[in-house]
Structure 1
Amino acid sequence: MIRLAACQYAIEHLPTWPAYAAHLRELCTAAAGQGAQLLLLPEYAGLVLSAQLPAAECADLHASMAGIQALIPAWRALCEGLARELGVYLQPGSLPVLDADGQYRNRAWLFGPEGELGYQDKLIMTRFERETWGVHGGRQGLRSFDTALGRLGILICYDNEFPLLARTLAEQGVDLILAPSCTDTEAGYHRVRIGAQARALENQIAVLQAPTVGLAPWSPALDENTGRAGLFVPPDYGLPADGVVAQSAELCPAASQWLLAELDLAALKRVREQGQVFTRRDWPEQWGVV
């Protein structure tokens, strides 16, 4: 049994580095203090760093993305330090990173008690990212992360809506997919959530979703945010009949809230061996009937 924490992350205006660092420390300490072993923040949570830029840069979609690049090394060090200090695995959401090829990518790092474990880039970009913002898809494919809690994977927001991505992680032996998300409408939130639940069903794995919430008129990228945190599993023996282990009570709380939930990995594995259905095992059969 492992204890997970997914944050409904309210976008706040934190205009200085000390204010931001204190905010992130307080948030993570609160979850760890409730016994959470893994903490998940949402897609583009790191873009809150743009509040530290001059007002004109902060209000400009492209300038704000460029302006936070100088802050990313300190941000990574802060996240690594918190994971080590609190003895947790921390996926602090994602942020746009300027790569060596001159393109921006939506990147999510994973940190643990032993330090930085690596990162996963978002692979398939939304219309806003590719047509308006200029954020590009990752080129290094999907990777899994071996941790003391089990093998993890990360699918950022829209990537959860594509079955073959989760299937690739399942074939790598992943038991839990982390799904940081950022959606401005309720429909967008449900698209990701339905995708997350479908991926859990198809692969008989767990998916943990953490969304942004609230209004941020000071940020052209994070201006409106809607979503609930949730932990999803396949509906089967020993697991919830609707596949929902836990979900946030409110759609858009006024302040950041943690959803804490227990995940029984042994029960999840038993379903793959003794469940009512074997969707994970039977996946290849669909190619022979269509």
Structure 2
Amino acid sequence: MIKLAACQYHIDLLPSWDAYARHLTDLCEDAAGQGAQLLLLPEYAGLVLSGQLPAEQRGDLHASIAGIQALLPAWIALCAGLAQRLGVYLQPGSLPVLDTDGCYRNRAWLFGPEGNLGSQDKLIMTRFEREQWQIAAGSGLRVFDTALGKLGILICYDNEFPLLARRLSDAGVDLILAPSCTDSVAGFYRVRIGAQARALENQIAVLQAPSVGLAPWSPALDENYGRAALYLPPDYGLPADGVLAESAELCPDRSHWLLCELDLDAVRRVRQQGQVFTRRDWPQQFAPGRLEIL
């Protein structure tokens, strides 16, 4: 049994590094103090760093992204230090990162008691990211082998595409972390439906953490809706609706942790003894390009 914490992360204006560092530290200490072993924050949670920029700069979409790049080394050090000191796995959401090829990519790191375990880029961009931000797609999927089990990260929209999760499950991943940021209720439900479908298809667990709240100071994070949740395949010994835990409100006025316990052995068991074998019954002849249209 492992204890997970998914944050409904309220987008607050934190105008200094000290205010931000105290905010993130307090959040992580709260979850770890309740026994959480893995902490998940939402997509673009790192963009809260833009609150430290001058008002004119943080109010400009492209200038705010460029402005936070100088803060990345300190942010990575802060996250790594929290994970090590608290003895937890921390996925502190994602943020846009300027790569050596001159492109920005939406990147999520995973930190553990042993330090920085690496990162996963978002692979499929939404229209807003592609057309307005000019955020480029990443490449490749990463499996994180941890003391809690094998983990994967699919950032927000990536959860709506079944073959990405399928590749992770084929590689032995039992739990997918799904940090999300959606500016409408419909957007939240698209990611939620995708995450639940990925849990059903692959007979794995998916943990979602969304951004919430209204932040008129940020052109990137001005409206945010979503519920944190842990999704499982509906089967023997697991919830009939596939929802093990879910936060109550779509847009609370403060950050809130959803804490839940996950028995990965019970999830694995349904692959061998379940009512259905969706993971096994996904035959290779149905792979793209191999199924004949009659």
Q: What's the TM-score bracket when you normalise by the shorter of the two chains?
A: over 0.9
Aligned counterpart, 1:242: 241
Measured in 1, the distance between the counterparts of 2:122 and 2:258 equals 24
Aligned positions, number: 289
Identity %, equivalent residues: 79
How far residue 56 of structure 1 moved from its aligned partner, in angstroms, is 1.1
Aligned counterparts, 1:68-147, within 5 A = 68-139=68-139, 141-147=140-146
* Gap regions ≥5 residues in structure 1: none
Measured in 2, the distance between the counterparts of 1:74 and 1:20 equals 11
SS at 2:282 equivalent: helix
Aligned counterpart, 2:254: 255
* Gap regions ≥5 residues in structure 2: none
Measured in 2, the distance between the counterparts of 1:99 and 1:76 equals 15
Determine if the alignment matches structure 1 residue 175 to structure 2 residue 167.
no
SS at 2:177 equivalent: strand
Determine if the alignment matches structure 1 residue 279 to structure 2 residue 278.
yes
Aligned counterpart, 2:199: 200
Measured in 2, the distance between the counterparts of 1:56 and 1:184 equals 22
How far residue 286 of structure 1 moved from its aligned partner, in angstroms, is 6.0
TM-score scaled by length of structure 1: 0.98
Deviation per residue, 1:228-259 (Å, 9 max, x gap) = 00000000011000000000011111000000
Measured in 2, the distance between the counterparts of 1:46 and 1:284 equals 40
Q: After the TM superposition, which parts of structure 1 deviate over 2 Å for at least 4 consecutive aligned residues?
A: none
SS at 1:255 equivalent: coil
SS at 1:280 equivalent: coil
**Counterpart code for 1:28:** C
Aligned counterpart, 1:28: 28
How far residue 25 of structure 1 moved from its aligned partner, in angstroms, is 0.2
SS at 2:20 equivalent: helix
Measured in 1, the distance between the counterparts of 2:145 and 2:167 equals 16
How far residue 196 of structure 1 moved from its aligned partner, in angstroms, is 0.1
Measured in 2, the distance between the counterparts of 1:18 and 1:213 equals 22
How far residue 284 of structure 1 moved from its aligned partner, in angstroms, is 1.4
SS at 1:8 equivalent: strand
How far residue 274 of structure 1 moved from its aligned partner, in angstroms, is 0.8
Measured in 1, the distance between the counterparts of 2:4 and 2:172 equals 19
Measured in 2, the distance between the counterparts of 1:21 and 1:281 equals 45
How far residue 289 of structure 1 moved from its aligned partner, in angstroms, is 6.3
Aligned counterpart, 1:165: 164
Measured in 2, the distance between the counterparts of 1:250 and 1:60 equals 30
**Counterpart code for 2:113:** P
Aligned counterpart, 1:66: 66
Deviation per residue, 1:157-184 (Å, 9 max, x gap) = 0000000000000011000000000000
How far residue 132 of structure 1 moved from its aligned partner, in angstroms, is 0.6
**Counterpart code for 1:197:** Q
How far residue 285 of structure 1 moved from its aligned partner, in angstroms, is 5.5
**Counterpart code for 1:56:** E
Deviation per residue, 1:105-159 (Å, 9 max, x gap) = 00000000000000000000000000011111102x1010000000000000000
How far residue 187 of structure 1 moved from its aligned partner, in angstroms, is 0.2
Measured in 1, the distance between the counterparts of 2:291 and 2:278 equals 15
Measured in 2, the distance between the counterparts of 1:25 and 1:258 equals 14
SS at 1:266 equivalent: helix
Deviation per residue, 1:247-279 (Å, 9 max, x gap) = 001111100000001110010010011111111
TM-score scaled by length of structure 2: 0.97
**Counterpart code for 1:108:** A
Measured in 2, the distance between the counterparts of 1:74 and 1:144 equals 25
Measured in 2, the distance between the counterparts of 1:89 and 1:267 equals 22
Measured in 2, the distance between the counterparts of 1:62 and 1:252 equals 26
How far residue 225 of structure 1 moved from its aligned partner, in angstroms, is 0.2
Measured in 2, the distance between the counterparts of 1:43 and 1:212 equals 7
**Aligned-residue CA RMSD (Å):** 0.9
